Structure 1
Amino acid sequence: MPERYRSIVDVHVILHRDGEILLLERQGTGYCDRMLHLPSGHLEEGEPVPHGAAREAREETGVLIDPGTLTLAAVVHHRQSPGHARVGMFLLAETWTGEPVNTEPHKCGKLQWADPHLLPSNTIDYPAVGIRAWLEQRPLALHGWGSTETVR
């Protein structure tokens, strides 16, 4: 019997205030360096989605988020390459404690607030799809699947 399909679950945090969202410039990781991404990472074994999102935001920006205040903004089924897909859970944070700072300078060049309707051209496509889905109030979006990308 073949093994069941398993996918990596990514958590992305949309820190939203005053009409802008926080983006981080990747640096020194070998993946999309000098490009912008949301605070994000992978779920750890046995970790609920909101707790993983709050943990990643704390690790990358130093802010404290009560996982119970996060709301699901969108889900993106992302195909990174043939045979390698992931599920991205995009969670909205409108309240947190602390001022965001770059707590991982070995992975992040800078923090940047941006208008989510006018994302900088160097925003990585995968999180940009999740941000657009949130803005358009589409609960599910596809990325990297080709002609099947339209979900209503």
Structure 2
Amino acid sequence: MKKRFTMPVAVHLFLIKDRSILLLRRFNTGYEDGNFSVVAGHIDGDENYIDAMIREAKEEAGITIYKNQIEPIQVMHRKNVDREGIDYFFVAKQWSGEIKNMEPNKCDLLEWFDLDNLPYNMVAYIKEAIRKYQEGSKFTDFGW
């Protein structure tokens, strides 16, 4: 019998303050190191996508976000050379606690950037997701 195709599912958080977005620079991960991304991670087994995003916000940025403070904004079907996956994107404009780098072994900088002046060294699909967010797109694909 043919094995059923499966793909990883990840969650990504756009923390927005005024017209700025919080970006983190990847470091020592083996994937896109030196490029900016957002708070993100994979869904663990036996958790829904909103709970996964709440968990990742705490693990990576040290903040507490409640379900009524995050809004699902986009779903992306993404493909690169050797894998494809589904990404859920959220926006939060409120949270509790002070943002701090909780994973200095994976991130060497957290910084706010104007949404209209993003750094050149960004993870490509994240930059595309931010652009689509600004356009109001809810579903997109990348890498096809």
Kindly tell me the number of residue pairs found equivalent between the two proteins.
Answer: 144
Q: Is the 8 A contact 1:35 1:123 kept in 2?
A: yes
Match of 1:28 in 2: 28
Shift of 1:16: 0.6
Worse overlay, 102-111 or 60-69 = 60-69
Match of 2:134 in 1: 135
Distance 1:51 1:72 in 2: 12
Distance 1:81 1:48 in 2: 28
Match of 1:148 in 2: none
Runs of 4+ in 1 over 4 A off after TM superposition: none
Match of 1:150 in 2: none
Q: Could you list the per-position Cα deviations for residues 52-92 of structure 1 after superposition, in whole angstroms to 9, with x for gaps in the alignment?
A: 0111111111010012321111111110224x101110001
Provide structure 1 residue ranges, at least 5 long, that are not aligned to the other structure.
146-152
| TM-score normalised to structure 2 length | 0.95
Query: What SS class does the counterpart of residue 128 from structure 1 fall into?
Result: helix
Distance 1:132 1:53 in 2: 20
Distance 1:28 1:128 in 2: 21
Distance 1:10 1:33 in 2: 18
Distance 1:141 1:129 in 2: 9
**1:3-152 matched pairs, under 5 angstroms:** 3-82=3-82, 84-145=83-144
| TM-score normalised to structure 1 length | 0.90
Q: Is the 8 A contact 1:76 1:129 kept in 2?
A: no
Distance change (3 Å), C-alpha of 1:48 and 1:68: farther
Query: What SS class does the counterpart of residue 81 from structure 1 fall into?
Result: coil
% identity of equivalent residues: 35
| Letter aligned with residue 100 of structure 1 | I
Aligned CA-pair RMSD = 1.1
Distance 1:46 1:136 in 2: 33
Q: Could you list the per-position Cα deviations for residues 92-140 of structure 1 after superposition, in whole angstroms to 9, with x for gaps in the alignment?
A: 1111001211111000001010112221101110111111111110111
